Structure 1
Amino acid sequence: MNRSARRNMLKVVGIIMVVMLPVMLALWFAQLRAVSEISAQLRTFAELALNKTERVIQQVDLAREDAEKYQGKVCTPEHRQYMLNVSRGRLFVADLIYAEGQEFLCSTLFTFTPDHPYTIPAANYTRKPDVAIYYFRDTPFFDGYKMIYMQRGNYVAVVNPLSYSEVMSDDRSLSWGVYDTVSNAFFSVSQKASISLLHSMLRHQETTFQKDDRFYTIVKSGQRPIAAIVSTSSARFYKTLYHQATLTLPLGMICSIIILLVWSRTHREFNSPGRLLHRALNKRQLCVHYQPIIDIKNNQCVGAEALLRWPGFNGQVMSPAEFIPLAEKEGMIERITDYVVEEVFSDLGHFLAAHPDLYVSINLSASDFHSSRLIALISDKARFYSVRAQQIKIEV
């Protein structure tokens, strides 16, 4: 591949890249917008779940405070009825249990006091002086159901795990879990969630990340040592990405079309004959050739005719008959005339001075004859190089 072909190929590739750049930026911006929107949706859901958890905890605290107001003998029918009334007054409290330490003595679900208290295994979370929380425990009080038991002092509130974070959403692929940040133990998860999988995601340093074709967001509560992790499928993300792309891609395509039109117009103007001639003059690319003038009487060279040529335009050499009208139209004829005069004296000035019997003929445009500036220029050059006036002949 020669240099010209390589240069043309690079030019085409460059044009394609510049034209495609707005489209690529539009897709990139759509991707950023989709990630931001998905993250915002997940964060909003996580905050709703944490707010729901806060409401449940408040209900539990109120229920235990009401239960502690009982003054009679514990675990009697009156006591159980009192606890039942308290639990019925709280939306998220499934049951109230009276306990001494880890021994659960009686609850509202049993109309009698068991012969032997139920001893629950060690708590998942404890806080001094008397708070203990047991996650997902299957006890005789709710046989076959893994409930959350929240104990403070002698009273234990039983809560369905879904009560903490059950929030309505139109995203069927949504999966979430709420956990305490002290032990990283989950106490509420969605039905489709895997606790082991969610637990493995807690090691990530970022609060928003992607893993195994799912997007995750972790939001911590500002009130309690709890946090929520929420995830959605990549299908949800691609749906959002498609929506964003339908907004940004048309703008990118419009920008590409505008760039292409501007480039096309600029390219045409840059490579117009007038601009090319202007650059050729600035770079002194016009060439003066000298054609000998022979006297046919004695077969002797008596001078030369200066012929201006423009090499390289459209791959061929142009004669003055082709570009002089263009120069007149573009208002550059005076520059070309000065250029020819300067080139002739630069090339032949000393030679003509040494051979006074020879002359040079210069072709000028008709409009040049009305310029006193040209006469002064030729006179100055002739005087500088010691060339006689009769050695310079002017032709139209």
Structure 2
Amino acid sequence: MTTRRMVILVTGTLIVAVLLPVLLSIWLAHYQAEQRFDEELSAYTRRINTVASQVIDEAKSALKDINRVDSEKCDLAHLQAMRRVAFTYRYIQEVAFLKGSQVLCSSLEEESHISSFPEPVKINKEGYRIWFTPTNDQGVNHYMIAMSYDDHMVVVDPRSFIDVIPYGTWPIEAALVGLRRNLVVASSAPLSTTAWKTIQANNLSRYEEAENVYSIYRNQQANFAVVVWASSHPVKATTRQQLLLWLPVGVLVSLLLATLLLRFIRQLQSPRYRLMDAIASRQLTVCYQPIMRLRDRKFVGVEALVRWPQTDGSQLTPDIFIPLAEQTGLIGAVTRLVIENVFSELGEWLHHHPDIHVSINLAPHDLKNDDVLQLLTAHCEHYQIRAQQIAIEITERGFADPTTTAPILKQFRAAGHPVYIDDFGTGYSSLSYLQHLDIDVLKIDKAFVDALEFNTVTPHIIDMAKHLNLEMVAEGIETEKQAEWLHNHGVQFGQGWLFSKALNVNELWAWSQKGD
């Protein structure tokens, strides 16, 4: 992954990291408020269900008690027995004696005058018959729940099923609905017809409509449903209360994450990380500056020069980023990338042009690494290139410690690679080093070429190279006069804008063919 993509990713992560804790705190405040609301609603529903079960169980117990009375007529003993049951059981409003569907008498009336009961709305698996009916001897238009077994019936006020005080912090309503005819038999507040139709049509146990939340429990045994609902407005107030707790925590976490990620982004944008990314993504490219024989201006080789393309179209030269690579321990990776690029681009071409050579710059660190020589040897064998075609260039400061450098240079020369000393005269080496080092070519720095007419050092360097039997390459030749002066003083080779600028591989091929 490139540093640019990494920065984009981290920046996106930063935005998320800043927003997420705040959004999470808002969500958590709302979630906790909803959880509290739902828990109170569910708790109230469970309590109503518990009461409903108690009412039904009590009705069954009352029927068992009265059915133990052995009487087929409404005599005083029978009436008193029914009255005792109605008085004893909390939820029982009336106990009646009936034959078939006709009530004969009850705990309230010695003789009943009501018409026959219709078919029950439910007969459960135990044989209990259940009605939702307004039929009574008092002529009161009020629906009651009646349950019968054998020859007796008990009557229960449906409000008993929902007669539960909510423990919540906001109002909660409840309704008892008969499932057969969808009849609301008891309700603490009007139940929305639209809401109930939607609940029934989709067999829902939870539903939200018009800012009300409904919780539904169906008692299939008694064929009724308990509907509990409450307004969701209190949730908003609770959410605001929870926000006072969670929002400061979210903001604090956001600031902490933002600080950490900004520090990480600054690291990613540092020159070291950018160079690491350029190496990993193989952004570094290689250009080739032709080297000419001054005597007849024949093309004999190229110097491989690494470049670092920038997003604005410019290119960084080695004098800018190579010191960074050396300081950060990345120089070995840069050298390896240059070597691989040189062989991948020029390998086949060098194989077919054995008279052409390429010089590759090595840093002092590379001389301590055996992998460089092994890499050169492996690539030369792969492309069937003579070792003499791959020269290594080492700057003068690379020879600061000849006792360490000399044995390594000896290995390169033993493998067949010519050794160049680059930028000679610009560093701090003693001229005596040249007498103790195995080198083949001395490169004269552009600074001396630019001042040939005024500099008395260059002729001495040339004379010394001749004395040591070293070939010479003059860098930075820009005029014909410079080329002639260098040739006349015995310099064999030269490179510079007089001949060609540094070229990419395609430009090099086109240039070399033009020269042919």
Helix, strand or coil at the partner of 1:98: strand
* Counterpart Cα distance in 2 of 1:17 and 1:338: 39
Residue 119 of structure 1, CA deviation: 0.7
* Counterpart Cα distance in 2 of 1:34 and 1:263: 32
Match of 2:79 in 1: 80
Residue 92 of structure 1, CA deviation: 0.8
- RMSD across aligned C-alpha pairs, in angstroms? 5.0
* Counterpart Cα distance in 1 of 2:66 and 2:308: 106
Identity of aligned pairs, percent? 22
Give the direction of change, closer, same or farther, for the CA distance of 1:225–1:331 in structure 2 (3 Å limit): same
**2:196 corresponds to 1:146:** no
Q: Which moved more, 1:272-281 or 1:52-61?
A: 272-281
Residue 258 of structure 1, CA deviation: 5.3
Residue 89 of structure 1, CA deviation: 0.9
**2:192 corresponds to 1:192:** no
Pick from 153, 157, 172 the counterpart of residue 154 of structure 2: 157
Query: Is contact 1:99-1:155 (8 Å) kept?
Result: yes
Match of 1:4 in 2: none
Helix, strand or coil at the partner of 1:62: helix
Matches within 5 A, 1:242-391: 256-257=254-255, 259-282=257-280, 283=282, 285=284, 290=289, 310-312=308-310, 317-333=315-331, 353=356, 364=395, 366-367=397-398, 369-370=400-401, 371=405, 372-373=407-408, 376-377=411-412, 380=415, 382-383=417-418, 390-391=440-441
* Letter in structure 1 aligned against 2:15: I
Q: Which moved more, 1:369-378 or 1:200-209?
A: 369-378
* Counterpart Cα distance in 2 of 1:87 and 1:107: 10
* Counterpart Cα distance in 1 of 2:316 and 2:10: 26
* Letter in structure 2 aligned against 1:42: L
Matches within 5 A, 1:197-212: 197=194, 199-200=196-197, 201-212=199-210
Match of 1:118 in 2: 114
* Letter in structure 1 aligned against 2:153: V
* Counterpart Cα distance in 1 of 2:337 and 2:290: 18
Q: Which moved more, 1:203-212 or 1:16-25?
A: 16-25
**2:443 corresponds to 1:393:** yes
* Counterpart Cα distance in 1 of 2:326 and 2:7: 32
Q: Which moved more, 1:46-55 or 1:257-266?
A: 257-266
* Counterpart Cα distance in 1 of 2:439 and 2:340: 16
Residue 159 of structure 1, CA deviation: 1.5
Unaligned stretches of 5+ in structure 1? Answer: 1-6, 296-300
* Counterpart Cα distance in 2 of 1:343 and 1:373: 24
Give the direction of change, closer, same or farther, for the CA distance of 1:368–1:163 in structure 2 (3 Å limit): farther
Give the direction of change, closer, same or farther, for the CA distance of 1:93–1:315 in structure 2 (3 Å limit): same
Helix, strand or coil at the partner of 1:118: coil
Output the TM-score relative to the length of structure 1. 0.70
Q: Which moved more, 1:131-140 or 1:27-36?
A: 27-36
Residue 163 of structure 1, CA deviation: 0.6
* Letter in structure 1 aligned against 2:115: T
Residue 86 of structure 1, CA deviation: 2.1
Match of 2:66 in 1: 67
* Counterpart Cα distance in 1 of 2:278 and 2:170: 70
Query: Is contact 2:212-2:232 (8 Å) kept?
Result: yes
Query: Is contact 2:289-2:305 (8 Å) kept?
Result: yes
Question: Once the two structures are superposed, what CA deviation does each residue of 1:310-362 show, in whole Å capped at 9, x if it has no partner?
Answer: 4428986545554344233212345556777888998898798589xxxx995
Match of 2:100 in 1: 101
* Letter in structure 2 aligned against 1:125: V
Helix, strand or coil at the partner of 2:92: coil
* Letter in structure 1 aligned against 2:121: Y
Query: Is contact 1:22-1:256 (8 Å) kept?
Result: yes
* Letter in structure 1 aligned against 2:51: K
Give the direction of change, closer, same or farther, for the CA distance of 1:125–1:280 in structure 2 (3 Å limit): closer
* Counterpart Cα distance in 2 of 1:340 and 1:73: 114
* Letter in structure 2 aligned against 1:265: R
Residue 55 of structure 1, CA deviation: 1.2
* Letter in structure 2 aligned against 1:105: L
* Letter in structure 2 aligned against 1:20: L
Query: Is contact 1:288-1:307 (8 Å) kept?
Result: yes
Q: Which moved more, 1:218-227 or 1:148-157?
A: 218-227
Helix, strand or coil at the partner of 1:42: helix
* Counterpart Cα distance in 2 of 1:119 and 1:368: 124
* Counterpart Cα distance in 1 of 2:414 and 2:233: 85
* Counterpart Cα distance in 2 of 1:361 and 1:56: 101
Question: Once the two structures are superposed, what CA deviation does each residue of 1:110-160 show, in whole Å capped at 9, x if it has no partner?
Answer: 4x546xx21155245242897443325153326243332333333332222
Q: Which moved more, 1:11-20 or 1:187-196?
A: 11-20
* Letter in structure 2 aligned against 1:141: Q
Match of 2:51 in 1: 52
Give the direction of change, closer, same or farther, for the CA distance of 1:277–1:106 in structure 2 (3 Å limit): same
Query: Is contact 1:306-1:363 (8 Å) kept?
Result: no
Helix, strand or coil at the partner of 1:163: helix
Max Rg structure: 2
Helix, strand or coil at the partner of 1:148: strand
Give the direction of change, closer, same or farther, for the CA distance of 1:325–1:67 in structure 2 (3 Å limit): same
* Counterpart Cα distance in 2 of 1:34 and 1:70: 55
* Letter in structure 2 aligned against 1:228: V
* Letter in structure 1 aligned against 2:201: R
* Letter in structure 2 aligned against 1:94: Q
Output the TM-score relative to the length of structure 2. 0.56
* Counterpart Cα distance in 1 of 2:393 and 2:91: 108
Helix, strand or coil at the partner of 2:233: helix
Give the direction of change, closer, same or farther, for the CA distance of 1:342–1:109 in structure 2 (3 Å limit): closer
